[in-house]
Amino acid sequence: MQKTTRNTTSLAVLVLMLAPALSHAVDTVSTNVAPLAPTAKPAPAPLQPSSAAKADEYREADVWGRIRTGYAIPDIDNELVAKHVKWYSTRPDYIARTSARASRYLFHVVQELEKRNMPTELALLPIIESAFNPQAYSKANAAGMWQFVPGTGKDFNLKQDMFKDERRGVLASTDAALSYLQRLYGMFGDWPLALAAYNWGEGNVQRAIKKNQALGKPTDYESLYEHMPAETREYVPKLQAVKNIIANPAQYHVSLPVIDNSPYFTAVDKTSDIDLTIAAQLAELSVEEFKALNPQFNRPVITGGEQTKILLPQQNAEKFHLNLAQWGRSLSTWTTHKITGAKDSIASLASRFGTTPEVIRQANNIPASTRLKAGSTILVPKISTSVQTDIAEHVVDNAVMAFEAERAGRRGGRAEKQTNAERIKGKVAALKTRVAARNAKSASNESSRYKRRGG
Catalytic residue annotation: 129
How would you classify residue 284: left for phi > 0, otherwise alpha for psi between -120 and 50, otherwise beta?
left
SS (H, E, C) 78-119: CHHHHHHHHHHHCCHHHHHHHHHHHCCCHHHHHHHHHHCCCC
- Distance (Å, whole) CA 9 – CA 45: 51
Contact 135, 288 (CB under 8 A): no
Alpha helices in 274-313 (DSSP H): 276-282, 287-293
- Distance (Å, whole) CA 40 – CA 155: 29
Helix or strand run (H / E) with residue 391: none
Nearest to 135 by CA among 317, 363, 6, 288: 288
Nearest to 112 by CA among 55, 169, 181, 174: 174
The answer for residues whose C-beta is within 8 angstroms of residue 154's C-beta and 6 or more apart is 160
Which one-letter amino acid corresponds to residue 121?
Answer: E
Task: Tell me if residue 355 falls in helix, strand or coil.
Answer: coil
SS (H, E, C) 9-63: HHHHHHHHHHHHHHHHHHHHHHHCCCCCCCCCCCCCCCCCCCCCCCCCCCCCCEH
The answer for residues whose C-beta is within 8 angstroms of residue 256's C-beta and 6 or more apart is 64, 95, 99, 246, 249
Task: Tell me if residue 382 falls in helix, strand or coil.
Answer: coil
Q: Is 39 exposed, middle or buried (0-12, 13-18, 19+ CB in 10 A)?
A: middle
What's the distance, CA 221 to chain centroid? 29
- Tell me how far apart the terminal alpha carbons of the chain are, to the nearest angstrom: 140
